[in-house]
């Protein structure tokens, strides 16, 4: 039983998949944050242009 538990804890075959999953989720969050920030800035620019064309 002890050797079985030692083998389970030493097995790192699933660690790579978990690391890739975490990395992909972090990249996704960064991309979403960047797109949101860019979208807000672009929207504000359109509002600025619109306000100055009306005057």
Tokens 């990249």 correspond to: 27
Separation CA 25–CA 33 (nearest Å): 12
The pTM score is 0.61
Q: What is the 3-state secondary structure (H, E, C) of the chain?
A: CHHHHHHHHHCCCCHHHHHHHHHHHHHHHHHHHHHHHHHHHHHHHHHHHHHHHHC
Q: Where exactly are the structural domains of the chain?
A: 2-54
Tokens 């807000």 correspond to: 40
- 9-41 pLDDT per residue, tens: 777 666 777 888 899 999 999 999 999 999 999
């Amino acid at each position: 039983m002890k050797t079985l538990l030692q083998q389970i804890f030493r097995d790192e075959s699933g660690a790579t998949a978990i690391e890739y999953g975490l990395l992909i989720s972090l990249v996704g969050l960064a991309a979403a944050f960047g797109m949101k920030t860019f979208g807000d800035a672009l929207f504000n620019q359109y509002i600025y242009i619109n306000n100055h064309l009306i005057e």
